[in-house]
Structure 1
Amino acid sequence: MKNKEAEADSIDPRLFVGGAEKALRVLRAFQDHRHPQSLTEITESTGLGRSATQRFIYTLKALGYLRQDKFTKRYTLSPKVLDFGFAYLRNDYLVEKAFPYLLEASKRTDETVNLTELDDTEVIYVSRLPSRNLISVDILLGQRLPVYCTAPGRAILAGIQPEQATDILERSDRQARTKHTITELSEIERKLEEIRHFGYALSDQESFLGDISIAAAVRNHAGDVVAAINIAVPHPRWSIAEAERDLAPVVIETAWAITKALGGRKI
């Protein structure tokens, strides 16, 4: 698992297509902004020249990945960009193998069940079965959350090499998302030791107020951690003691069932 700096160092300039990277940079300019973007704003976000930005915007608009309001002249992503995400979900071996077990966990608990994968310092939600009950947080497929304060993130960190986990945590922007968020590196690493001992991770309202989450890591045939399953429930409908008593066993069993489906074994 390499960090972004190591990945950059490994790029072969003879094969790297700079134009493709710049086009993707324009698309990423919309990632952190919910409102339509002007040409000036996109230029500032990407760090590209105004003329180059204009050409990339025109190309992406012509291909159907951007659309422009005819009155404000501002740009937004078009629904066509969802094709890439759904192509990933349709073709991802892990999502396919995990789904029956996520469904079983959802039926057993009648609560929200998620599957997440690690991407550098964040986890990405790649499969989700929402509860029919009242939920405290509405998460969408493809949504990202930081690893340091989420149960699935910590479950994954606890399963990889300690030095890799420390590297990820040191590069994370460990801001307090709620009054309950643990941000100190030493305290998070102590939590990781507890996860290795008990087999599951617990986050008590550290990412969102009112959200309790319990997670366990999923491994592949080589024994590498590839994902985490978590069950999220609202406080005060659930207490921490109830969640650990009733949900932790389900989470651990489900993670192990998916691991076996991937050809993995207990280590």
Structure 2
Amino acid sequence: MSQPEANDSASLLFNQSLEKGLAVLRAFSAQRRTMTIADVADAAGINKSSAQRMVFTLEQLGYLRKHPQTRRYQLTPRVMEIGFNYLAANPLIEVANPFLSELTKVTTETSCLTEPDLLDMVYIARFVSAHFVPVHMPIGSRIPMYCTGSGRAYLSALPEDEARAMIERSARTAHTVHTCTALADIMEKLRETRQRGYAVNSEELFLGDMTLAAPVIGGNGRPLGAIHLVAPTGRWTREQAERKLGPPLLQCARAVSSSARAMG
């Protein structure tokens, strides 16, 4: 089958109604907790008639509910079933959890496991420190690769040309006065990360937040994700964090990588 024919076949299989239904679910967020049909249409980028059909169907299936007084729609807990099934079926989480638990116990700081999705890293496991953490990042939170420890750890384990292409596609917004946005500067940070084995992000995404992150490498030599430790600047200087947190972080990442490779 030629390439155009393959593309035509794929387009015939593509279900636009399913696409619209998922767009409606994704339209709800912390900024849009409840919406009218018109709001849904605008947020999902579909017409009002389609929005009405999608909302009705999702309500009947139990994924949306309508407030009896305001008539506004909101998500229901059933939506979490999809995300929970992903977490439950992800073998990397099962492999990493004991090591993350031990890492938090040894360092007394929050440890996290993230996986890549497009140009972001997504939190899929987290062991929280008893100490104060300036930024709450629950499971499912997304952070950009280019300016975070876990993102740069992941990018550093990719072929350089591939990492560069991903950074070029990133928006590279300056989230704080410390955010590094220049392509050449980020590439230099990736080279430094490869040399020492872990990345450092100091207040580039959130003020007061510093992280050290190391990649998790799979059996094919490619990164599966990254493990990072949260080191708030109120408790740690960069020099202290690297000296005391760097070694156990690397040990944890290597152990998870070894177990992931054995898993196949």
Question: What amino acid sits opposite 2:216 in the alignment?
Answer: V
Query: CA shift at 1:157, angstroms?
Result: 0.5
Deviates most, 245-254 or 28-37: 28-37
Secondary structure, counterpart of 2:220 in structure 1: coil
Query: CA shift at 1:16, angstroms?
Result: 1.7
Q: Which residue of 2 aligns with 1:58?
A: 56
Structure 1 pair 10/255, CA: closer, same or farther in 2 (3 Å)?
A: farther
Question: What amino acid sits opposite 1:196 in the alignment?
Answer: R
Secondary structure, counterpart of 2:114 in structure 1: strand
Question: What amino acid sits opposite 1:25 in the alignment?
Answer: A
Query: CA shift at 1:32, angstroms?
Result: 6.4
Query: CA shift at 1:15, angstroms?
Result: 2.1
Please point out which of 198, 202, 205 is paired with 2:203. Answer: 205
Q: Measure, in 2, the Cα distance between the counterparts of 1:167 and 1:33.
A: 31
Q: Which residue of 1 aligns with 2:85?
A: 87
Structure 1 pair 200/20, CA: closer, same or farther in 2 (3 Å)?
A: same
Contact 1:136 1:233 in 2 (8 A): no
What are structure 2's unaligned runs of at least 5 residues? Answer: 1-6
Please point out which of 240, 243, 256 is paired with 1:242. Answer: 240
Q: TM-score, length-normalised on structure 2?
A: 0.93
Q: Which residue of 2 aligns with 1:218?
A: 216
Q: Alpha carbon RMSD of aligned pairs, Å?
A: 1.5
Query: How many percent of aligned residue pairs carry the same amino acid?
Result: 39
Query: CA shift at 1:222, angstroms?
Result: 1.2
Deviations 1:120-159 (A, max 9, x none): 1100000000100111111100000111111000000011
Secondary structure, counterpart of 2:122 in structure 1: strand
User: Structure 2 matches for 1:76-115, cutoff 5 A?
Assistant: 76-115=74-113
Question: What amino acid sits opposite 1:222 in the alignment?
Answer: N
Deviates most, 224-233 or 34-43: 34-43
Number of aligned positions between the proteins: 256
Please point out which of 185, 188, 212 is paired with 1:187. Answer: 185
Q: Measure, in 1, the Cα distance between the counterparts of 2:56 and 2:134.
A: 41
Deviations 1:54-94 (A, max 9, x none): 00000001111111111111111111111111111111011
